[in-house]
Copies of this chain bind each other. A is one copy, B any other.
Amino acid sequence: MSRGRFVSETSFHVRYAETDSMGVVHHAVYLVWFEEGRSAYIRDRGWSYADIEKAGYFLAAGELKAKYRRAARYDQRITVKTWIEDLKSRTMTFGCEIVDADADAVLFEASLKLICLNAAGEITRIPKAWMAWINP
């Protein structure tokens, strides 16, 4: 999956509010976990996504591909594994795998291409200064 790159891992329990009538986690919630995986990735590199926004940049969702493998349930402990899959001058693509923290069974896999925007909402080049946390 990560082809030798840095992989961030963060673990937490499934919240009750994240389940739906089917008795399992609602499919939109995995995007929230993937996003928290990206936050953890940037934290692990000594930055915060908040710093990026303070500097006047935003990373906006562009294109998403996801596969749902197994259902997650309330109170289950899960791990979100996150890495950078691809990097271009104006976009970066994160990959993610969400697994059961104990059994290591894959629950969800996805990739999300993010587009770098400036404060005016225009597509812009990713600043060189970001390389410190992007490429460990």
- Report A's interface with B, CB cutoff 8 A: 12-13, 15-17, 19-24, 26-29, 31-32, 35-36, 39-40, 43, 48-50, 53, 58, 60-68, 71, 73-75, 121
Contacts and interface: CB of A to CB of B under 8 A. Distances in A.
Interface of A is mostly: mixed
A86 to B, nearest CB: 16
Contacts of A20: 16-17, 19-21
A70 to B, nearest CB: 10
Copies of this chain held together in the complex = 4
A49 B74 contact: yes
Contacts of A28: 17, 28-29, 31-32, 35
B61 A35 contact: no
Nearest to A42: B75
